[in-house]
Homo-oligomer: A and B are copies of this chain.
Amino acid sequence: MQSPYHHGNLREALLTRAIETLNDRGVEHLSLRALARDLDVSHAAPLRHFPTKADLLNAIAVEGVQSLIAATDAAQSAPPGSGRLRAMALAYVDWAIAHAALHGVLRNPDVMRHASDDLRQLLIAFAERQKQEIEAAQNQGWRKDTDPDVLFLHLVSLTAGTAIVMTEDIYRDPVPTADIRHKVAASIDLFLK
């Protein structure tokens, strides 16, 4: 049949198409009705899967954080210590560059304002793992005398900040372009080496 009454996998299709739209048009141009049109579905169909637009964005954010966690998990193959922290920080930045749209959603205050409990839990777990890595690194002698809270604050600020500087258009002008990936690593090494 040409178009079956039921789409079959509308939820996934919505998420995929939404992320595509996000990539080239930004959050402001993301609309449930336009998504429905794109997928040849009635204008209210998306509401069956995401009762509200915020729910859609929240689901995208959850996917994003899971993807981010998976990316930094891969960096955990390194032995514990400041080297592993370094690998995780770089993995974070690389992930942000590779998934700019998802990263943008995670950085959008208007999305995160309505973060679901699931999403918050994911982020807290992620933060917790970073704290453990810091503790492990300190046990190996790295910045042994510094307050762990300060190290955590510094790590989070530096990684989040670097990711933003590398992905947001507004920083493109002042930031050096030549050999940027190497400079990012050197910048992170100022803290983690």
Contact = CB atoms under 8 A, between A and B. Distances in A.
Given A27-B110, A147-B183, A153 B170 contact: no
- Chain A: interface secondary structure? helix
Contact of A120 (B109, B173, B186): B173
Determine how many copies of this chain the complex contains.
2
B110 A169 contact: no
Nearest to A167: B109
A75 to B, nearest CB: 19
Nearest to A186: B150
A65 B183 CA distance: 27
A151 B183 CA distance: 9
Interface stretch (A6-14, A36-44, A66-74, A158-166): A158-166
